[in-house]
Amino acid sequence: MAQAHISSEKEIKERTGGWLARLAEQGYRITGSRRAVVDVLAEAGTSLSPAEIYEQGRVAHKQLGLVTVYRTLEKLEELGLVQRVHRPDGCHAYIPALHGHEHLLLCQECGRVEYFRGDDLSELSRRLEGESGYTINDHWLQFFGVCAACQ
Amino acid sequence: MAQAHISSEKEIKERTGGWLARLAEQGYRITGSRRAVVDVLAEAGTSLSPAEIYEQGRVAHKQLGLVTVYRTLEKLEELGLVQRVHRPDGCHAYIPALHGHEHLLLCQECGRVEYFRGDDLSELSRRLEGESGYTINDHWLQFFGVCAACQ
DNA sequence: GCTATAATTGAAAATGCTTTTCAATTACTG
DNA sequence: CAGTAATTGAAAAGCATTTTCAATTATAGC
């Protein structure tokens, strides 16, 4: 098994940079509201619910509406830039989307998110296909714990 | 890696047998409504939403109320007998709970659920702890695909 | 830089799932 | 079998999310 590789700060910036450009490319307009939502998500380091994004986004853009947060998340999700995180206690928070075969490590206290690579589940996947008769399209691997800061 | 082991029909029955006895042990009363909810979940083989359980439960117990479905699920979940399944498209369906280190294989078409063992994530988990500084408490591993019947 | 125009916005209303309230019913104990 | 507390289902309340709609605003073309 390869050594687990946890994404660096720099890799996170690369993950979240260029979101506004991507929106513009798709013909969407760049507005103060969208900028606010994108900025909050790109800088958070934790998963955030629509209400949290709304609250934090209003600091930079006072007139931001919760409805616009929902609508912006919808577009960012369509473009594969953000995604929901699923947790035992709720599945309504968003994070910058996973790239390729990454997986997640989540802090149960503060919601902090780490992205990692380093497993290889393709062998297990093939074995399961053989034994079950399923055609497997996708998988999730997530670890839950408490981050260093929260301990 | 050990060969993936998918739960047999018999193992599923063992998983779901004795739920009513467990409820009684805890001082809960055995009622027609609870029996109906338990029976539906124990026989399904797929994940079911509260509304689906309600609908199917009413076949055996006409006066079943949706509220009672919610309340019964809450108790079964407390006792560790059922749990929610998380899927990209929704996290409000229930299945008989996982035992020990089992994981899930889910059919994206019909919701069918297979339980399997055969991975070993403890090594990866330890490695991640070392690299991230997290204390890891739990993990999820789920595969998504299309079952033989749905292909 | 200005204007026209369609996209976008936020507020209010609507929706839909889940929870709470409450009086009537029912399972269980003695 | 009777007494009692748990349980029930219906209706109301609660809450997150979506829709509606008139006002605003980003952008393309001049």
Tens-digit pLDDT profile for residues A111-137 = 999 999 977 889 999 999 999 999 999
The percentage of chain B sitting over the pLDDT mark of 90, rounded to a whole number, equals 82
Judgement on whether residues B44 and B12 belong to the same structural domain of the protein: yes
Token pair belonging to A46: 């934790």
What CATH number is associated with residue B108?
3.30.1490.190
Cα angle B75, B80, B82 (rounded to 5 degrees) comes to: 75
The percentage of chain B sitting over the pLDDT mark of 70, rounded to a whole number, equals 98
Judgement on whether residues B53 and B105 belong to the same structural domain of the protein: no
The answer to whether residue B63 neighbours chain A at the CB level (below 8 Å) is no
User: Which residue in A3, A84, A134 is closest to B127 by CB distance?
Assistant: A3
Domain presence at residue B1: no
Judgement on whether residues B76 and B104 belong to the same structural domain of the protein: no
Q: Can you give the distance from the CA of residue A26 to the C1' of nucleotide C5 in angstroms?
A: 19
Provide the total of helices (H) and of strands (E) in chain A, helices listed first: 6, 6
Judgement on whether residues B129 and B75 belong to the same structural domain of the protein: no
Summary mean pLDDT of chain A: 93
pLDDT at position B3 = 65
Tell me the three state secondary structure of residue A66. helix
For A56-86, the pLDDT digits (tens) are: 999 999 999 999 999 999 999 999 999 999 9
For B93-124, the pLDDT digits (tens) are: 999 999 988 999 999 999 999 999 977 889 99
Token pair belonging to B92: 């409000």
Judgement on whether residues B33 and B76 belong to the same structural domain of the protein: yes
What CATH number is associated with residue A134?
1.10.10.10
Judgement on whether residues B31 and B53 belong to the same structural domain of the protein: yes
Name the maximum alpha-carbon separation found in chain B: 56
Judgement on whether residues B109 and B148 belong to the same structural domain of the protein: yes
User: Chain-centre distance of CA A37, in angstroms?
Assistant: 14
The answer to whether residue A80 neighbours chain B at the CB level (below 8 Å) is no
Judgement on whether residues B92 and B46 belong to the same structural domain of the protein: yes
Judgement on whether residues B81 and B114 belong to the same structural domain of the protein: no
For B29-85, the pLDDT digits (tens) are: 999 999 999 999 999 999 999 999 999 999 999 999 999 999 999 999 999 999 999
Q: Can you give the distance from the CA of residue A31 to the C1' of nucleotide D21 in angstroms?
A: 20
Structural domain range at position B126: 100-151
Count how many domains chain B has: 2
Sign for the CA dihedral angle at A78, A80, A81, A87 comes to positive
Comparing C-alpha atoms, which of A101, A134, A95 is closest to residue A118? A101
- Residue A98, class by beta-carbon neighbours within 10 Å (0-12 exposed, 13-18 middle, 19+ buried)? middle
Mutation target among B112, B140, B150 for the A interface, most CBs of A within 10 A: B140
Judgement on whether residues B52 and B26 belong to the same structural domain of the protein: yes
Q: Does the distance separating the beta carbons of A123 and B133 come in below 8 Å?
A: no
Comparing C-alpha atoms, which of B10, B29, B9, B7 is closest to residue B20? B29
Judgement on whether residues B82 and B128 belong to the same structural domain of the protein: no
Judgement on whether residues B78 and B144 belong to the same structural domain of the protein: no
pLDDT at position A150 = 95
pLDDT at position A30 = 96
